[in-house]
Amino acid sequence: MFNVLLGNLPYLLQGALVTLWLSVAVVGLGTLLGVGMGILATTRSRVAQTVVTGYIFVLRGIPVLVVMFLGYYAFPAFGLRVNIYVAVGLAQIVYLGAFVAEITRSAILSIPAGQIAAARSLGMRRPAILRQVILPQATRIAIAPLLNSALTAVKQTSYASVVGVWELTYAAREIVERTLAAFQIFIGVMAIYFLICYPLSLAARWSENRLSFSH
Amino acid sequence: MIDVRDLRKSYGTLDVLKGVSFGVAKGVVVVVLGPSGSGKSTMLRCINQLEDYQGGEIRIDGVPVGYSTGAQGRNAHSEAVNARLREQVGMVFQSFNLFPHRTAIDNVMMGPVHVRGVAKAEARDLARALLAKVGLSEKADQYPAKLSGGQQQRVAIARALAMQPKVMLFDEVTSALDPELVGEVLRVIRQLAQEGMTMIIVTHEIHFARDVADRIIFMDDGVIVEEGAPERILSGASGARLRLFLRRYQGDYLAS
């Protein structure tokens, strides 16, 4: 029943490799960008706060696929030729960054003001307060939601296929077009995505249990 | 040591402090009483510049707090200057505000290590001594979540003392405690008073105030209404507002 799938497995696995690279880049850079912006949003600079909240607000109101299309067409619109992976990857990074920024921002703001007052009254200044009081606690609070948004971003790489990026889903649809064995191919694709995502979802569940009431 | 002159503060259009003036000499314990909203906590937080203020002057050992008045008018101090000031003014809060992700001893070490750059081993010795002083040696490696309210507050006192401040400010430090835990905290404060620490204590514990205070200040609605020695203030010879306050907080205190 699964001969076609098995026959085309090598091709699918190549696609899976591309998906993996794409996922690592998007999650890695998107999280970095988002954490940076999230921390910026909690400084006293009005400019920083406005910019970041604006960025979060706009991006959370647009579907990721639309952002990807925008990324695809943005560069040519300005006369630039950019690799399609870079263009669409950047779009996803910017998109993930907005969600991560919001998670980071709320985690930092959830630290009770009383602790900040206590730290200040000891003579601590903002960098030390961030490093010693805020970030250790905010990180624990943010890890589970961050892992969840990473998981979502990995799955969203499949949308890139709609824009024309060659990765696992694109490869799957090529095979289906050629062989018409849609069901077994997509069962295989489902299994591969599950295997890619499994470590992340395990980590997310583990962090929920281990870190929520640890202090 | 502490000199407050005509302190004024408002939150927007709401005037919270309307011209408060008093002084605290070295080694003196001043207790501030007053109803909620009288501005006592705000005044305390102005003294260590956790809050800014719009009018008047605060000086600690002659050094102005928060603002300097020069030829060009009033200049706000930078956060760096304010932070240095706060190293010398210890504060203990109503809600303890311990760092939950650090053990008791790590909490106490926080100031010396991360503000003064003291070596960890030395800071640990100091912290151990302070925890012993507040009676919590055996709880040094516990996290705050495992400590009772009274124990947490005593750790908070040790943490403030670790910076070896000139002055200690106590902001209703027993108000959030179960009655049976209040005594252990008051005992520590009394001991500090006996050792000659300069303190400003905002509290509702009127019996404690009578015990420990060299002077009592009664505030209401942003101003100091009465000020004087405990025996005089808390006897029958006090004004109407104070009597009303005492009646509310201690029922038949005046009768006893």
Q: Is residue B159 part of a domain?
A: yes
Distance from the Cα of A140 to chain B's closest Cα (Å) equals 10
| Domain CATH for A62 | 1.10.3720.10
Going edge to edge, which strands form the sheet with B14-24? B14-24, B2-11, B55-60, B63-64
CB B219 within 8 A of CB B38: yes
C-beta atoms of B93 and A118 within 8 A:
yes
As a whole number, mean pLDDT of residues B55-80 equals 85
- Sorting pLDDT into bands at 50, 70 and 90, what band is B236? low
Distance of CA B189 to the CA centre of its chain: 11
C-beta atoms of A215 and B143 within 8 A:
yes
pLDDT at A204: 84
Domain with B111, as residue range(s), is: 98-164
**Per-residue pLDDT at B255 exceeds 50:** no
Tokens (6 digits) for A25: 């880049």
CB A92 within 8 A of CB A68: yes
Q: What angle do CA A119, A120, A125 make, to 5 degrees?
A: 100
- Residue among B87, B97, B110 whose CB faces A132 most closely: B110
Q: Is residue B247 part of a domain?
A: no
State whether residue A79 is helix, strand or coil: coil
Report yes or no: A128 at the B interface, CB cutoff 8 Å.
Answer: yes
The string of pLDDT tens digits covering residues A181-204 is 889 999 999 999 999 999 988 888
**Per-residue pLDDT at A139 exceeds 50:** yes
**Average pLDDT, whole number, for chain B?**
89
Q: Is residue B1 part of a domain?
A: no
Q: What percent of chain A has pLDDT over 70?
A: 98
- Sorting pLDDT into bands at 50, 70 and 90, what band is B252? very low
- Sorting pLDDT into bands at 50, 70 and 90, what band is B256? very low
How far apart are alpha carbons A202 and A193 in whole angstroms? 14
**Per-residue pLDDT at B226 exceeds 60:** yes
Q: What percent of chain B has pLDDT over 90?
A: 63
Q: Which of B15, B8, B96, B90 is nearest to B50 (CA)?
A: B90
Report yes or no: B9 at the A interface, CB cutoff 8 Å.
Answer: no
B66 φ/ψ sector (left φ>0, alpha ψ -120 to 50, else beta): left
Q: Is residue B88 part of a domain?
A: no
Report yes or no: B180 at the A interface, CB cutoff 8 Å.
Answer: no
Q: Which residues of B touch A111 (CB under 8 A)?
A: none
How far apart are alpha carbons B87 and B165 in whole angstroms? 7
The string of pLDDT tens digits covering residues B146-203 is 999 999 999 999 999 999 999 999 999 988 888 888 889 999 999 999 999 999 999 9
Report yes or no: A118 at the B interface, CB cutoff 8 Å.
Answer: yes
Q: Is residue B149 part of a domain?
A: yes
How far apart are alpha carbons B39 and A43 in whole angstroms? 28
Best residue in A121, A126, A135, A215 for a mutation probing chain B (most B CBs within 10 Å): A121
The string of pLDDT tens digits covering residues B10-24 is 998 899 999 999 999
DSSP classification of residue A159:
G
Tokens (6 digits) for A60: 């959370």
Considering its fold, how many domains does chain B have in total? 1
- Sorting pLDDT into bands at 50, 70 and 90, what band is B70? confident
pLDDT at B250: 63
Q: Is residue B134 part of a domain?
A: yes
As a whole number, mean pLDDT of residues B79-95 equals 93
Q: Which residues of B touch A122 (CB under 8 A)?
A: 86-87, 110-111, 115, 159-160, 163
C-beta atoms of A121 and B91 within 8 A:
yes
C-beta atoms of B79 and A123 within 8 A:
no
Domain with A153, as residue range(s), is: 3-211
C-beta atoms of B145 and A215 within 8 A:
yes
**Per-residue pLDDT at B67 exceeds 90:** no
For chain B, give the secondary structure using H, E and C.
Answer: CEEEEEEEEEECCEEEEEEEEEEECCCCEEEEECCCCCCHHHHHHHHCCCCCCCEEEEEECCEECCEEEECCEEEECCHHHHHHHHHCEEEECCCCCCCCCCCHHHHHHHHHHHCCCCCHHHHHHHHHHHHHHCCCHHHCCCCHHHCCHHHHHHHHHHHHHCCCCCEEEEECCCCCCCHHHHHHHHHHHHHHHHCCCEEEEECCCHHHHHHHCCEEEEEECCEEEEEECHHHHCCCCCCHHHHHHHHHHHCCCCCC
Q: Which residues of A touch B87 (CB under 8 A)?
A: 122-123
How far apart are alpha carbons B215 and B32 in whole angstroms? 9
As a whole number, mean pLDDT of residues A143-149 equals 92
Q: What percent of chain A has pLDDT over 90?
A: 75
Q: Is residue B71 part of a domain?
A: no
- Sorting pLDDT into bands at 50, 70 and 90, what band is A215? very low
Report yes or no: A212 at the B interface, CB cutoff 8 Å.
Answer: no
- Residue among B50, B114, B145 whose CB faces A117 most closely: B50
Count of residues making up chain A: 215
- Sorting pLDDT into bands at 50, 70 and 90, what band is A212? low
Q: Is residue B50 part of a domain?
A: no
**Average pLDDT, whole number, for chain A?**
91
pLDDT at A150: 94
Considering its fold, how many domains does chain A have in total? 1
Q: Which residues pair with residue B4 across a beta bridge? A: B22, B58
- Sorting pLDDT into bands at 50, 70 and 90, what band is A167? very high
As a whole number, mean pLDDT of residues A89-114 equals 95
Q: Which residues pair with residue B31 across a beta bridge? A: B201, B216
Minimum mean pLDDT range among A10-19, A53-62, A123-132, B201-210? B201-210
pTM assigned to the model: 0.84
Which residues make Cβ contacts (< 8 Å) with residue B227, sequence separation at least 6? B22, B215, B216, B217, B218, B233
Q: What percent of chain B has pLDDT over 70?
A: 96
